[in-house]
Copies of this chain bind each other. A is one copy, B any other.
C-alpha cells in the first residue's frame, strides 16, 4: 500500500527542483502517492491571507505530511511569512536540521580537513516568534519573549528521542540563561528535568555565544543541540554555513499531527525556470521524510546514490570544482538515478 502525502512545489526554482526529486523517488520506486496542493506566493496574490487555499489546508491536515519547495511571502506590513505561519498553524514544534560534510562540496572546513556531523533541534513556535511587539513611544519599541514549560518540554523530549534513535551519545542545550534567567532559565530547567528520563544520553548545557565560538573551531565537540527558537535559527544557519550553505541542509518541521519537510533556501527567482538550480537540499529533506515515514531502505539507497554522485565531482553550477563542467538540474538528477 502506498502512503499518500501532500506536495507543494513552491515558488521560483521550487517546481523544477521538486520535479527532479520526485523523479529520483520514482526511479527508486518509493511507495508514495502525491497530492499536489495550492500553496505559495500566487495564492497570497489571489487573496488567501495564509498563502494557501482552504482545499490545500484540508488536504495537508488530512494526510499529515507536507513535502514543500521554497516559497516566497509577498512583502508588506501585516503579511506573515508562510513558513512561520505553517509552523504555527500546525504546531510543528520541532525544527530538525541535520548537517554533515559532503564529499565534493568544498567549504572552509573541508579544506582544513574538519568533518561536520551534527543535528540542531530548534523550538519552532515560541520565543519572539509570537510577534508580540508594540511602540511604547515613537522612540521606544518593546517586544515580548515568551517561553513556556509545555512548549519547551515537547521539543526537548523530541530532541532526546531523536538523539537516541540516531544512536548519538549526547545532547547539549544551548541557551543564554545567564542573562535571560527566567525565560531561558525555564527552558534549561525543563531540559534537565527531561534529561532524567534519558540516562543513556549525556546531557549538558552551553551558553549560546560560547557555543557559536566552539562550533566554528571545534564542531566535533557536538552531536546534537537543542535551542529556543531565535537562537536555534541563528545556530542552524551557522551550521549550514559549515557544510556549504542552505543548498546542502535538509529541514524537517515535526509536530504530533502534521510534519513538514522543506528546503529552507530561497526561491532564487533570478534563475527560476532555467533548469540550473541545485536540488540537493530538497532531496536531503525528502530523504529525512522517507526515514520519518519508515521507508528506511529507500532513504538509504537514495542517500548513498546522492553521496556517491557528489563524491564523484558531479555538481550543478553553484558549487564544486569549476574545472569540471557543471550539470543542469535534470542531468544532476539523472546522475543520481544512474547511481541508485
Interface residues of A (CB under 8 A from B): 81, 84, 107-109, 111-114, 128-129, 131, 133-135, 138-150, 176, 178-183, 185-186, 208-210, 212-217, 230-231, 233-238, 240-242, 244-246
**Given A209-B234, A217-B242, list of 20 further CB < 8 A pairs?**
A108-B217, A111-B112, A112-B112, A131-B179, A133-B181, A135-B186, A140-B147, A140-B148, A143-B144, A143-B180, A143-B183, A144-B144, A209-B236, A209-B238, A212-B234, A216-B238, A216-B241, A217-B241, A217-B244, A238-B238
Complex alpha-carbon distance, A79 and B281, angstroms = 46
Q: Which residues on B sit within 8 Å (CB–CB) of A240?
A: 213
20 pairs, A vs B, C-beta closer than 8 Å: A84-B179, A108-B112, A108-B114, A111-B113, A112-B112, A131-B179, A133-B181, A133-B183, A135-B186, A140-B146, A141-B148, A141-B186, A145-B145, A208-B234, A209-B238, A212-B212, A212-B241, A214-B241, A217-B241, A217-B242
Q: Which residues on B sit within 8 Å (CB–CB) of A134?
A: 182
Given A216-B216, A245-B217: A144 touches B145 (CB 8 Å cut-off): yes
Distance in Å: Cβ of A136 to nearest Cβ of chain B? 8
Distance in Å: Cβ of A73 to nearest Cβ of chain B? 9
Complex alpha-carbon distance, A107 and B182, angstroms = 36
Complex alpha-carbon distance, A237 and B113, angstroms = 23
Given A180-B128, A213-B241, A241-B212: A142 touches B141 (CB 8 Å cut-off): no
Question: Are A230 and B111 in contact (CB-based, < 8 A)?
Answer: no
Q: Which residues on B sit within 8 Å (CB–CB) of A140?
A: 146-149
Question: Are A233 and B209 in contact (CB-based, < 8 A)?
Answer: yes
Complex alpha-carbon distance, A186 and B178, angstroms = 26
Question: Are A135 and B208 in contact (CB-based, < 8 A)?
Answer: no
Complex alpha-carbon distance, A210 and B145, angstroms = 22
Distance in Å: Cβ of A273 to nearest Cβ of chain B? 24
Which B-chain residue is minimally distant from A140 (CB atoms)? Answer: B148
Q: Which residues on B sit within 8 Å (CB–CB) of A212?
A: 212, 234-235, 237-238, 241
Which B-chain residue is minimally distant from A129 (CB atoms)? Answer: B179
Which B-chain residue is minimally distant from A134 (CB atoms)? Answer: B182
Question: Are B108 and A142 in contact (CB-based, < 8 A)?
Answer: no
Question: Are A209 and B237 in contact (CB-based, < 8 A)?
Answer: yes
Complex alpha-carbon distance, A235 and B235, angstroms = 10
Given A111-B111, A133-B182, A181-B133: A213 touches B141 (CB 8 Å cut-off): no
- Most B-side CB within 10 Å, residue of A134, A141, A208: A141
Complex alpha-carbon distance, A143 and B245, angstroms = 32
Complex alpha-carbon distance, A140 and B183, angstroms = 8
Complex alpha-carbon distance, A182 and B134, angstroms = 7
Complex alpha-carbon distance, A128 and B181, angstroms = 10
Q: Which residues on B sit within 8 Å (CB–CB) of A141?
A: 146-148, 182-183, 185-186
Which B-chain residue is minimally distant from A185 (CB atoms)? Answer: B141
Q: Which residues on B sit within 8 Å (CB–CB) of A144?
A: 142-145
Q: Which residues on B sit within 8 Å (CB–CB) of A145?
A: 128, 142-145
Complex alpha-carbon distance, A111 and B108, angstroms = 9
